[in-house]
Structure 1
Amino acid sequence: MSSEYTKMIVGIDDTDSRDGMCTTYLCALLRDELSSYAKTVSDPILVRLNPTIPYKTRGNASVALFLECDEPEKVMDHVIRKVASMACMENENTNPGIVFITDDQFEKVRKTLSDFFRHAVKEVITIDEAKELVSGLGLKFKTFKNGRGLIGALSACGAMLSQDWDHTYEYIAYRKLEVCGTPRFVDGDSLFEADRQTYPDTWDTVDLKNEMVVCVPHAGDPVLYGIRGKDAYSVEKAVSFIRSEPVERVCIYRTNQGTDMHLISASTISDIQEMHSYILEGQVCCEPKTIRGGHTIFSLKDSAGDTIDCAAFEPTKNFRELIRKLIPGDRIVVYGSVTERTVNIEKIKIIGLSPKYEVRNPLCPSCGKRMKSAGSDQGYRCRKCGTSSMVTERSEVKREIGIGFYEVPPCARRHLAKQLLRFEKDELPVFAGR
């Protein structure tokens, strides 16, 4: 590469569908294809945006590459042609967007796009807002169909420009395209071994309690598996234990997965909006109930007396057993996303337990035997002594849960949800483990 080079950021989003393709695959492919006339400056970026957006394709992820190149126009043409040819254009929900930023623009747009990135993780952004922003900043871009992918492309560029956000890493291995849509082969025993050898430096490879593999997807996309961890070394070490079908290519991404970046602290329930994610403190105000479908739901009341439903949905498996042990009066902090006025719980922190009592028929003061009911509203009578009493016996019983943090199992974890193992120890009065 000559000394006359241009630094460039390329942001891409919304090229996949629920049936196939993957925006991260396109990023990995472009990184490799562009290597003949461009070089990668830093780790590719993979950012997850607001998880409640209803028109997302799968995981609401966008990507960005940071390149040095001699011919930026050639890079732009290559990227546009590749997205046009490989994106799932036939799917009505696939609306790609691409953004190009050159180094002479970096400082001008850095603050604006960094803020936009953080906004897109927490808030709901319209296509018109994104188009107005990219035009106002004078950036080169390309959209297809309604151009919704412009939101994610701008966000990924903002993440690449800011770099000062909490991050983790993901190693993604991709299948050969000709086998996409057929069953994957990744040896399950090798994944459990990879977890044993590298946890807690890697996580969510498997779910031990539910005896499930977590890191292998099931859709028809090119991803074979993804290993998540604290740094590139750790995820590469885990991969060294994995046995699988042939891999076409791999890519390690720096990502905001596992950071809780999507969460907003809410003072009261009245502050809560649909399609946002919150940290909310309150008091359990009704017994949890398990409804049809296996979902467990209870109501939470804040200091103002307002209430909102909180749910541990069926995919959270054994986490629901914990939720069923809550009783009215327990003080908790819930973490999760809100849709249809219900908090989808990602984890909870129990900060205060209400006493639980067991009520039984009283003991006879004469013979010590348990009295029997004398009839409706007639109290109790000892059949042996004839002694009567109107007072029941009430005794406190030990709760089956303790104060501390609890999280959903890996099989139900959302991309952005921060694992308890990533919290500082002083934030975890009780470490729930896995």
Structure 2
Amino acid sequence: MSTEYIKMVVGIDDTDSRDGMCTTYLCALLKDELSSFASILSEPVLVRLNPTIPYKTRGNASVALFLECREPDKVMEHVTQRVASMACMDNENTNPGIVFVTGDQFEKVSQKLSEFFMRAVREVITIDEAKELACGLGLQFKLFKNGRGLIGALSACGAMLDTKWDHTYEYLAYRQKDFWGTPRFVDKKSLFEADRQTYPNTWDTVDLKNEMVVCVPHSGDPVLYGIRGKSASSVEKAASFVSSEPVERVCIYRTNQGTDMHLISVPKISDVLGLHSYILEGQVCSEPDIIRGGHTIFSLKDDTSNTIDCAAFEPTKNFREQIRKLIPGDRVIVYGSVTERTVNIEKIKIISLSKKYEVKNPLCPSCTKRMKSAGSGQGYRCKKCGTSSMVTEISEVKRELEAGFYEVPPCARRHLAKQLLRFDKEDLPVFPGR
């Protein structure tokens, strides 16, 4: 055994499935187990990658641990055995990957892994690209099945080695194994109290407008609930108010959730690619259309007259009411992911509102009642007074909408979407969606 302490970063991804397991649970378990022969140097990282990737299992998250030990081989062996035994290998979409970065490599690989991390959040990366990078950097890694998890594992290592990116925190409580797959018990009132006591330092625990609990998942994975917020102390305080079934273990992660890290600002709609997420400015060029299912869609036109559809889907609930008040000519900035040439709106900033007019039959100058149509091309006539007019009455209508930011409610929030409460004061929202 070496007498020298060696720093290591361990990145892991793609151990779960839509039916069970959770990569963050495996990370929390390893954090506790490795503590018996290694020192954990910081909170683990949980990074959400490109939300549009079609082969993701659930939330497209990867994790990394930063530790110090005398026996790196022992760490590698333990981690590999745990992933092999606990990952959902029977599921065709589960393809784990593990990456190990050791101390003498940090300076050499940090920049390239950081760049790879940012690309994985915004772009579509192939398994071959990830393998080429890992081999080129001389990293030790372990793949299972097709090894797609290598992409996320490298990304998480890049995040751990780069302290400059905007981040938030999440407190995750995990269920005892005997409870996995059964209905969860988390007292609803206690979650609303946790929110009341700690908002705005924590967020998306509950959705007040829709009276919904947001932080408790519904799948068969080990997570009992997750509290998100601005600091480790904030999420820990919120969790102290929660009453629930027995908890096996907890873990606080540093994460890129709530940062808008996935969004790319482009000047033209012609620059937009599918499976990417964007900030787009333009002019509303169609009346919002409510389609089957309650989804609301309008067209956005940029300054080169290219257009793209923008959608507020049914799960965004009351957010759709604001989108339906838009009219052609309104100038807006939309934020969201693009699939099938449609922007899934996460939030919108209304820059300026177009004037709206109402056309009415003219008033009779004698009795002040509305005239009736006298027939096609014949103007209007008052049946009582016999007066007539060829001119309609046009008046401006007050808009039931104000310029400013609007966001989807917490029940529809995507992991990476930045909450308006995290924006600078000069961009204070009109409609905080809470």
TM-score range, shorter chain: over 0.9
Secondary structure at the counterpart of residue 66 of structure 1: strand
Secondary structure at the counterpart of residue 247 of structure 2: coil
| 2:59 corresponding residue in structure 1 | 59
Question: Residue type of the partner of 1:412?
Answer: A
Whether the 8 Å contact between 2:87 and 2:96 is mirrored in structure 1 is: yes
| 1:409 corresponding residue in structure 2 | 409
Cα distance per residue 1:155-181 (max 9 Å; x no partner): 000000011100000000000122111
| 2:337 corresponding residue in structure 1 | 337
| 1:386 corresponding residue in structure 2 | 386
Cα deviation for residue 35 of structure 1 reads: 1.0
Q: Distance in 2 between matches of 1:337 and 1:357?
A: 33
Whether the 8 Å contact between 2:2 and 2:71 is mirrored in structure 1 is: no
Secondary structure at the counterpart of residue 250 of structure 1: strand
Q: Distance in 2 between matches of 1:86 and 1:279?
A: 39
Q: Distance in 2 between matches of 1:51 and 1:196?
A: 30
| 1:210 corresponding residue in structure 2 | 210
Question: Residue type of the partner of 2:22?
Answer: C
* Higher deviation after alignment, 221-230 or 373-382: 373-382
Secondary structure at the counterpart of residue 282 of structure 1: strand
Question: What's the C-alpha RMSD, in Å, of the aligned pairs?
Answer: 1.1
Structure 1 regions of 5+ residues with no counterpart? none
Q: Distance in 2 between matches of 1:61 and 1:292?
A: 32
**Could you state the TM-score of these two structures normalised by the residue count of structure 2?**
0.99
Question: Residue type of the partner of 1:287?
Answer: E
**Equivalence map 1:124-163=2 (5 Å):** 124-163=124-163
Cα deviation for residue 431 of structure 1 reads: 5.2
Cα deviation for residue 376 of structure 1 reads: 2.5
In structure 2, do the counterparts of structure 1 residues 2 and 134 end up closer, same or farther at CA, with 3 Å as the change threshold? closer
**Equivalence map 1:416-431=2 (5 Å):** 416-428=416-428, 430=430
| 1:356 corresponding residue in structure 2 | 356
Cα distance per residue 1:309-342 (max 9 Å; x no partner): 0000010001011100000100000000000000
| 2:27 corresponding residue in structure 1 | 27
Q: Distance in 2 between matches of 1:432 and 1:250?
A: 30
Q: Distance in 2 between matches of 1:374 and 1:177?
A: 78
| 1:277 corresponding residue in structure 2 | 277
Question: Residue type of the partner of 1:418?
Answer: K
Q: Which runs of 4+ in 1 moved over 4 A?
A: none
Cα deviation for residue 230 of structure 1 reads: 0.2
Q: Distance in 2 between matches of 1:360 and 1:338?
A: 41
Secondary structure at the counterpart of residue 248 of structure 1: strand
Whether the 8 Å contact between 1:420 and 1:431 is mirrored in structure 2 is: no
Cα deviation for residue 358 of structure 1 reads: 1.3
Cα distance per residue 1:205-224 (max 9 Å; x no partner): 00000000000000000000
Q: Distance in 2 between matches of 1:328 and 1:431?
A: 21
Structure 2 regions of 5+ residues with no counterpart? none
1:287 matched to 2:287 = yes
Cα deviation for residue 3 of structure 1 reads: 5.6
Question: Residue type of the partner of 1:421?
Answer: L
Q: Distance in 1 between matches of 2:120 and 2:220?
A: 27
Q: Distance in 2 between matches of 1:375 and 1:242?
A: 69
Q: Distance in 1 between matches of 2:58 and 2:433?
A: 29
Q: Distance in 2 between matches of 1:186 and 1:268?
A: 46
Secondary structure at the counterpart of residue 416 of structure 1: coil
Whether the 8 Å contact between 2:408 and 2:433 is mirrored in structure 1 is: no
Cα deviation for residue 430 of structure 1 reads: 3.2
Q: Distance in 1 between matches of 2:47 and 2:223?
A: 16
Cα distance per residue 1:185-224 (max 9 Å; x no partner): 0000000000000000000000000000000000000000
Cα distance per residue 1:39-63 (max 9 Å; x no partner): 1101100000000000000000000
Question: Residue type of the partner of 1:29?
Answer: L
Whether the 8 Å contact between 2:49 and 2:152 is mirrored in structure 1 is: yes
1:4 matched to 2:4 = yes
Secondary structure at the counterpart of residue 308 of structure 1: strand
1:315 matched to 2:292 = no
Whether the 8 Å contact between 1:403 and 1:429 is mirrored in structure 2 is: no
Q: Distance in 2 between matches of 1:73 and 1:276?
A: 38
Question: Residue type of the partner of 1:305?
Answer: S
Secondary structure at the counterpart of residue 281 of structure 1: strand
**Equivalence map 1:182-331=2 (5 Å):** 182-331=182-331
**Equivalence map 1:69-148=2 (5 Å):** 69-148=69-148
Whether the 8 Å contact between 2:227 and 2:239 is mirrored in structure 1 is: yes
Cα distance per residue 1:213-239 (max 9 Å; x no partner): 000000000000000000011001101
Whether the 8 Å contact between 2:175 and 2:224 is mirrored in structure 1 is: yes
| 1:37 corresponding residue in structure 2 | 37
**Could you state the TM-score of these two structures normalised by the residue count of structure 1?**
0.99
Secondary structure at the counterpart of residue 322 of structure 1: helix
Cα deviation for residue 432 of structure 1 reads: 3.2
In the alignment of these two chains, the number of paired residues is 434
Cα distance per residue 1:235-292 (max 9 Å; x no partner): 0110111000000000000000000000000101000000000000000001001101
Secondary structure at the counterpart of residue 346 of structure 1: strand
